[in-house]
Every structure is written in structure tokens, then in C-alpha cells.
Amino acid sequence: MQKQTKNILGYLLKLIMILIIFLSLMIFPKQAFEASLRGLNAWWTIVFPALLPFFIMSEVLVSIGIVQFIGVLLEPVMRPVFRLPGSGAFVLAVGFTSGAPISSIVTADLRRKNIISKNEAERLICFTNNASPLFMFGAVAVGMFKSPELGIIIALSHYLANICIGLCLRFWVPRNHGMHYNSQNVGFKKAVKTLFASHTKTNKPLGKMLGDAIRNSINNLTQIGGFIILFSVVIELLTLFNVIGILSTSLTFIFKPLMLDLQLAKGITSGFVEMTIGSKLIAESASPLNLKVAGISLILGWSGLSIHAQALSMLSNTDIKFYPFIIARFCHGILAAAITLVIFNPTVSVISEYENLLNLEFSTLTLIVYSFGMFIFVLITLLIISLLYSLIKKIRLNLHFLYR
């Protein structure tokens, strides 16, 4: 009976929300149309061309066994540090270089293929969801603040906070589970065997493999585009009905001791739904610079309901629970804002000598090239660390037997 009542209440809540949006579209058709065009333009000119190559690449790499190959090589790093399999390093590299929601898509794919467990997948999506590096450096630091050096502070706090979450989540497993690995199951020979075994298991012709990868990637990107357009319209409607204004005023009153001005509060409130719009409003506020940067770190860590909805849609056909992701995003936002306030120093130009390098035109091509470069760099760095770790362990083992 209680379950039936809960289902009825859930249905009524969905019905009311849909009716409100439908009536709002009838009251403000012109504004809704313009907002949807803005969302469509952002998706078609930026999101689609920037993410499509990564989506296709990740699909193909999983299909031919490269992810499993990398996983074996990176097991010595991922197991002791995060209590995750080496294949999680691929998600880590993609998530930290390409932005959301690609980490959710790759994680869901690895889970469907049973490469990682349910618990590992839930922990993995919690700390690999990041804002794109070029969004932080290009759109926010250069575009909104006209200050490239702020990009270092925003990115550093953003990544550090997520890594801290990943390190904390290593304890969200049974004691000793996933901590150690069998040294017989790592190494280059084992990685090559795993690569061929994975490819033999899939055994798809190249044409079919590429066709499936392109079809799945375009389907995922179409879903993402729908959410971007929908939330663009929702934010416009919330602004027209002054919901954003009321929530912002309440936020200003609650955080009065922090001297939170109304424009900054509006930015945080809007950023709760969509981080790009929120970041722009925060940058335009009259608050002290450290509070503005901390506010942007907060909403970039939270990611916005738009990103949450995109991630949820990608995980919907798996057994991965979504609530840990939401809790992690809240913690990410708070922690990133706190780190920003600690490391922020407005009198020091952290990278002033690189200002001309960063102050470039962030075109879609630049985004793709930079993201691919960062992805390769992160993977190579992790591989070097893994090899050094294995080498040191082998030397220690040999010394142990030598002096017995």
C-alpha cells in the first residue's frame, strides 16, 4: 500500500511538472523558441563537433580491446590508489580531458560489457565527471574574466577536489576488497594476451564496428542535445516567472555574512540548473574577485541539473545507482569552492608569462586538438607511473630475497 501511494505521488509530481512546462510554453512561445535556438546553436556549433570524435574513439577502443589492454598495464596504479581496475584509467583520462558527460557514457559501456563491477562503476563516475579544460581556461578565464591566470586556479581547485573525492571513495568498499592485485595478471605480455582475447571475443568486422560506434555516438549526442535545448528553455521560463530572482534573494539573505550580492546569488542559482549561464552571471557581478571565482568553482563542481540529466540518461539502462553521483557533485562543488578560497591570491599572476599563449581563439578545432593532446598526455603519464611502480616493487622484492 505504501509503495502504491509512493508511485501515485511520483506520477502526480511528474504530471504537474509537465503541465507547468506545457502551459509556460503556451504563455511565452516567443521567448521559449529563442531559448531553444540558443541551446540548439550551442549544441550544434560546440558540443556536437567537439565530442563526436571522442565518443566514436571510446566506442572503437572498447570494441577492439585497447581499453582492456591499457587496463592491465595501469592496474598497479589504479588498484592501490583508487581500488579500481586498470580499465578505470581510461575513464579517468577521458573524463579529465574532455568534459562531461563522456565519463558517464564510457563507464556505462564498461559496465554493460562487465569489465567493471557495479560498485566500481558507481565510484568511477563520482570523480571522473569534470568540466572541459578549455571551458575553464577559454570560456571562463579568458572569455568571461579576461584573465588567463584565473584558469589555473579554477582548474586546479576543480581537479584537486575531484581527486580527493576519488581517494575518499576508495574506502566505500569492503575492507581489503580491490586493494591488491596479482602481479601475474599485469605486465606487457599479459596486456597483449588480454588485447587479443578481447578482440577475438568481439570479432566484429571493421565496417560494422565503425558503423555501430558512429550510430551509438550520434544517438548519445542527440540525447545530450535534447537536454541542452530543454534546460535552456527551462532556465528562460524560470527567469520569466521570477523564480530565479526569488531564489537568489533568499540565497542573499541566508549568506548575508559573506556579503553575497544579488547578481552573484543569481549566478549560483542559475548555475544550479546550467553552469554556463551561471558562470556568466557570476563573472558580471560586483562581488570581490575571490568570491566570484569561488562561486564559479562551486557551480562547475556541481555541474548543473542539465549535466545530471545527461548523465542519468546515459546510465539509465545499467544497474548503476545515480544517488552517489549527485552526492559527489555536491561535495565536489563545496570542496572546489573551499580550495579556491584557500589558494586564491589576486596579487600574484601565476602564469603571466603564458598569457599570450592562453589568450587564443578557442575554436572547435582547437578544442578537439587540445583535448586529444591532453588525453594522450594523461594516459602516457599514468603508464609511466605504473611502470615505475612495478619496477620499484620488483627491485624491492629482489632485494628482499637477496638479503634473506
| The pLDDT value given to residue 362 | 52
Q: What percent of the chain has pLDDT over 90?
A: 12
| The pLDDT value given to residue 331 | 94
Listed in sequence order, the residues at least 6 apart from 28 whose beta carbon sits closer than 8 Å to its beta carbon are 236, 237, 240
pLDDT tens-place string over residues 245-261? 787 777 777 766 666 67
| The pLDDT value given to residue 397 | 65
C-alpha dihedral, 66 to 69 to 75 to 81, nearest 10°: -10
Determine the Cα–Cα distance for residues 265 and 285; give it in Å rounded to an integer: 9
Cell numbers placing 384: 609511466
Measure Cα distances from 360 to 51, 96, 357 in Å. 21, 21, 6
| pLDDT(199) > 70 | no
| The pLDDT value given to residue 3 | 66
pLDDT tens-place string over residues 8-19? 777 788 788 888
**Between 26 and 203, the higher pLDDT residue:** 26
Domain around 146: 2-402
| The pLDDT value given to residue 367 | 59
> Left, alpha or beta for 187 (phi > 0: left; psi -120 to 50: alpha)?
left
Q: Where are the alpha helices (DSSP H) in 43-187?
A: 48-64, 66-82, 88-98, 102-112, 118-127, 133-134, 149-169
b vs e for 383-398, b when ≥16 Cβ sit within 10 Å of the residue's Cβ? eeebeebbeeeeeeee
Looking at residues 118-134, what average pLDDT do you find? 88
Looking at residues 166-181, what average pLDDT do you find? 70
pLDDT tens-place string over residues 332-382? 999 999 999 998 865 444 444 444 444 445 555 665 666 667 677 777 777
Question: Across all residues in the chain, what is the average pLDDT?
Answer: 79
DSSP 20-58: HHHHHHHHSHHHHHHHHHHHHHHIIIIIHHHHHHHHHHH
**Phi, psi at residue 259, to the nearest 5°?**
55, 45
Looking at residues 30-35, what average pLDDT do you find? 89
Domain count, the chain: 1
| The pLDDT value given to residue 349 | 46
**Phi, psi at residue 321, to the nearest 5°?**
-75, 145
| The pLDDT value given to residue 332 | 95
Least confident among 134-143, 235-244, 317-326, 380-389: 380-389
**Between 118 and 359, the higher pLDDT residue:** 118
The reported pTM is 0.79
Least confident among 60-74, 219-233, 301-315: 60-74
Determine the Cα–Cα distance for residues 91 and 156; give it in Å rounded to an integer: 19
Name which of 88, 62, 65, 59 is nearest 75 in CA terms.
88
Please answer whether residues 62 and 109 qualify as being in contact, where contact means their C-beta atoms are separated by less than 8 angstroms.
yes
Q: What percent of the chain has pLDDT over 70?
A: 81
**Between 377 and 56, the higher pLDDT residue:** 56
